[in-house]
């Protein structure tokens, strides 16, 4: 088991840096927006989704109903539905924690080639737990940092855009086709021109419909 832990730790080292810095910025950003110290920490423990947490602290100050929050959260992360599909018959030990902790990055790491003498169930668990710990501890450090040193740095949230750009390029490398990107751009531009109230929600819905119709045959 110790060997599996060491192996899992090694593969998560890039995530250690990526998550720590992202959640660190999340902690600072949240405190700078005027939230109490425990809010970002609770979010990192129980929500554990970068995109959703950044979006939430941005929209929580606007007048949204709980239904708005539920629907937006669900649709924002609806892509995660497709992550679980790869692990339907693979998660066995502590299945529900593994499902809860299935972030983009954890999903990618679990799809990596794992060497044969490693217990996969323990590997899944350690990767999930380590990434979650990086995420929470980065948030806590960010909260402490923001309280003690008044940093007036704008634009930390760009890290998320940069992360998505990199994920996008990796997607293109894998797929080698551009139609999924065109569908996304088209859906967004349509909703943008129509000046829909909830652009994100409607453009995601439209893209799902187009993608489904396009690949139906």
Told to check if 111 binds another protein by CB under 8 A, we report no
Task: Tell me how far apart the alpha carbons of residues 158 and 134 are, in angstroms, rounded to a whole number.
Answer: 20
Told to check if 9 binds another protein by CB under 8 A, we report no
Place of tokens 């602290």: 57
Task: Tell me how far apart the alpha carbons of residues 167 and 179 are, in angstroms, rounded to a whole number.
Answer: 16
Q: 11, 37, 51, 140: which one contacts another protein (CB under 8 A)?
A: 51
Q: 3, 6, 9, 47: which one contacts another protein (CB under 8 A)?
A: 47
**What SS3 state is found at 192?**
helix
From 4-12, 113-121, 124-132, 163-171, give the range in contact with another protein by CB under 8 A.
163-171
Q: 115, 150, 212, 213: which one contacts another protein (CB under 8 A)?
A: 212
Told to check if 28 binds another protein by CB under 8 A, we report no
Told to check if 61 binds another protein by CB under 8 A, we report no
φ/ψ bin of 155: left (φ > 0), alpha (ψ from -120 to 50), beta (otherwise)? left
Q: Contact 135/44 with Cβ under 8 angstroms? A: yes
**C-alpha separations of 163 from 122, 144, 146, 170, 210 in Å:** 28, 24, 23, 11, 26
Return the residues of window 176-205 that contact another protein according to CB under 8 A. Answer: 179-181, 183-185, 187-188, 192, 199-200, 203-204
Count of residues that bind another protein according to CB under 8 A? 79
């Amino acid at each position: 088991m110790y060997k599996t832990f060491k192996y899992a730790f090694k593969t998560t080292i890039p995530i250690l840096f990526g998550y720590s810095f992202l959640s660190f910025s999340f902690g600072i950003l949240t405190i700078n927006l005027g939230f109490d110290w425990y809010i970002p920490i609770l979010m990192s423990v129980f929500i554990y989704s970068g995109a959703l947490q950044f979006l939430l602290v941005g929209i929580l100050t606007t007048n949204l109903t709980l239904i708005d929050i539920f629907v937006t959260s669900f649709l924002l992360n609806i892509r995660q539905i497709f992550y679980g599909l790869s692990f339907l018959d693979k998660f066995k030990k502590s299945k529900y924690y593994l499902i809860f902790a299935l972030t983009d990055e954890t999903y990618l790491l679990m799809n990596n080639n794992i060497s044969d003498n490693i217990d996969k169930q323990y590997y899944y668990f350690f990767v999930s737990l380590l990434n979650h710990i990086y995420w929470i501890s980065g948030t806590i450090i960010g909260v402490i940092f923001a309280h003690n040193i008044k940093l007036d740095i704008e634009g930390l949230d760009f890290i998320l855009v940069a992360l998505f750009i990199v994920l996008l390029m990796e997607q293109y490398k894998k797929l080698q086709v551009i139609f999924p990107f065109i569908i996304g751009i088209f859906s967004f531009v349509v909703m943008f021109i129509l000046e829909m109230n909830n652009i994100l929600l409607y453009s995601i819905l439209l893209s799902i419909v187009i993608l489904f119709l396009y690949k139906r045959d």
